[in-house]
Structure formats: structure tokens, C-alpha cells
Amino acid sequence: RPQATRIDGKAFAEKLRARLAAEIATLGFQPGLAVVLVGEDPASQVYVRNKATQTVEVGMRSFEHKLPASVSEAEVLALVTRLNADPAVDGILVQLPLPPHIDADKVLLTIDPAKDVDGFHPVNAGRLATGAQALVPCTPLGCLMLLQDFHGSLAGMEAVIVGRSNIVGKPMAQLLLKADCTVTIAHSRSRDLPALCRRADILVAAVGRPEMVRGDWIKPGATVIDVGINRLPPDEHGKSRLVGDVHYGEAVQVAGAITPVPGGVGPMTIACLLHNTVTAAKARRGV
């Protein structure tokens, strides 16, 4: 049988950013995104830098607030409160993880839900769950866009999501339910995970375990969305490979379509952050 179609998230994200840039040019104002980074976590620094670069590239304003790891919780809350009140700021993103002495839930609750472009505030999670207009977490939103681009309607399809985090698994389930899929959410306590996965027309892996989903867990012809980003320890040549939660080499022989790692879901996340910022800016300004 032929190999699975490779779903090119990098190309889709580029098209989405180009569309956003064209739209922003017609708005008559410049949406602004504020990013708060606490501490020196190297991965977070890379994410924040990429977010800022892409924000400016599509024609928005980027406000970066870098605070030392020693900053107090009260100071972070005060900054978020200032950003809530700042009319130039349409979106606020607090980069996670925060240092242990800062209560991340308290910080997220302080963000104005109308500026919550990560979609992590309980008001947005609740709106998504009840079917109201919501700012939706970027990674699952990106997965949904790739799926709808590939399939058109998803109505009636069996979707199985492995992972139930508030950031990926749960909002992914809500989005697929809204798109009229029949949704199953699996997790670390699920029984017979391979059999559950084999039911899926759409299989989303958001686990954080390198290459856990094997080829024989996949229904022939299914669409596989691999959210995982796992860096393997360096091999004998000192090279450390990035792999997903799906064993790509096996899965590509069985699936109908699959997102690669890297170049699949990953690039969609920042593009969707920019999308959410434009959505928030238009909603706040009544456009």
C-alpha cells in the first residue's frame, strides 16, 4: 500500500501567517501581543524569541517583558494587571513554566479573558466547553486547522485523543466534538490503549512519550496528528534527534495521512497564537 500523505504544518503555518499579515494591513490599527517571560529557561527563551520575531513579521507590535527568576508573585500579578489595562495590548501570554514560588494558576486567572490568547483562562475553557465564542489554546487549534484543511468536514469521524492535559488533550477533544466527531479521550489509566487507538479515524497523540504509538495501533488509512515533541538522548555521533509521540517510520506505512515531527503540529502553534491575537484585537475593538 502507498505511504501516508505527509501533512505539512510548516507550509500551512506560512500560508496562515501570510493571510494574517494581509488582514492586519487592512485593519487600520496594529494589534499588540505582550509576552511575559520569568527566569532563564533556555527552551522558553527560544519560544519567546520566535514568538516576538513572527509577531513583528506579520505587522503586529510585540511587547516583551523579561523578569528575573527571583521576581515576586506580586510583581508578576502587578505586571499582568498593567497589561490588562494597556489599550495597546490585545493579547497577553505568560510563558510557562513559571518558577515554583509563583502560582501559575493565580497568574493565569489574573489575565483578562478577552486578552487571553493562550486560551488557558477557565473562562475561555468554559466558553469552549459550552460552545460559546472563546480564545482556544493554540496547539489544538492548529491541529484542528490541519485536520479541516485535509478532510473538509470531520462530521461522524471517530477521533481518539491520547492525553488529557488542559493545554492540549482536553481542548482538542472539545474542538473535535464541536466539529461533530465521536470523541474518546485516553490517558495513562486507559485500558488496552492499542485497541482504543485502532478505532480512530483521527488519532491525536499528545502524551510526551517518544514513539509510543506504534504502527499496529493505527487503523489503516487513519489520519494521525502527532503533537509530541521529544528530544532523544544523543546517539554515538553526538546527534540528538527530535521525535514525536508516534513511531513515524511504522505509522507512515499504515496511516492515510500523518504530521511529521518536526514540521507538523509544531509550527502551527505560533501561527495560531498570532491568529488568536488578531481575533482578540478585532473583538476588543468591535471590528
Binding flag, residue 91, ligand NDP (CB under 6 A) = no
* Cβ-based nearer residue to ligand NDP, 227 or 257: 227
* Cβ-based nearer residue to ligand NDP, 79 or 186: 186
What are the φ and ψ backbone dihedral angles of 211, each rounded to 5 degrees?
55, 30
* Cβ-based nearer residue to ligand NDP, 1 or 191: 191
Element (H, E) at 65: strand 61-67
Element (H, E) at 272: helix 266-284
SS3 annotation, 182-205: EEEEECCCCCCHHHHHHCCCEEEE
Annotated binding-site ranges: 163-165, 229
Stretch that binds ligand NDP, among 69-77, 147-155, 246-254, 265-273 (CB under 6 A): 265-273
Selected from 119, 140, 163, 260, the binder of ligand NDP by CB under 6 A is 163
Selected from 188, 195, 285, 287, the binder of ligand NDP by CB under 6 A is 188
Binding flag, residue 265, ligand NDP (CB under 6 A) = yes
Binding flag, residue 162, ligand NDP (CB under 6 A) = yes
Question: Please, what is the minimum distance in Å from the beta carbon of residue 201 to ligand NDP?
Answer: 19
What DSSP assignment string belongs to 138-181? HHHHHHHHHHHHHHS--TT-EEEEE---TTTHHHHHHHHHHTT-
Q: What span, in angstroms and rounded, lies between the C-alpha atoms of 203 and 189?
A: 18
Q: What span, in angstroms and rounded, lies between the C-alpha atoms of 162 and 148?
A: 19
Nearest to 231, CA basis, from 206, 265, 261? 261
Annotated binding-site ranges for NADP(+): 163-165, 229
Selected from 31, 119, 169, 260, the binder of ligand NDP by CB under 6 A is 169
Q: What span, in angstroms and rounded, lies between the C-alpha atoms of 116 and 268?
A: 18
Residues classed as catalytic = 51, 95, 118
Show Cβ contacts of residue 70 under 8 Å, excluding neighbours closer than 6 positions. none
* Cβ-based nearer residue to ligand NDP, 107 or 162: 162
Q: What span, in angstroms and rounded, lies between the C-alpha atoms of 271 and 142?
A: 8
Binding flag, residue 269, ligand NDP (CB under 6 A) = yes
Binding flag, residue 143, ligand NDP (CB under 6 A) = no
Question: Please, what is the minimum distance in Å from the beta carbon of residue 51 to ligand NDP?
Answer: 11
Binding flag, residue 140, ligand NDP (CB under 6 A) = no
- Alpha-carbon distances, residue 218 vs 146, 192, 257 (angstroms): 19, 13, 11
Selected from 229, 254, 258, 273, the binder of ligand NDP by CB under 6 A is 229
Binding flag, residue 7, ligand NDP (CB under 6 A) = no
Question: Please, what is the minimum distance in Å from the beta carbon of residue 228 to ligand NDP?
Answer: 4
> In this structure, are residues 165 and 139 in contact, taking their beta carbons and an 8 Å threshold?
no
* Cβ-based nearer residue to ligand NDP, 189 or 237: 189
CB-neighbour burial class of residue 192 (10 A; exposed 0-12, middle 13-18, buried 19+):
exposed
Binding interface with ligand NDP (CB under 6 A): 139, 162-165, 167-169, 186-189, 193, 206-209, 227-230, 245, 265-266, 269
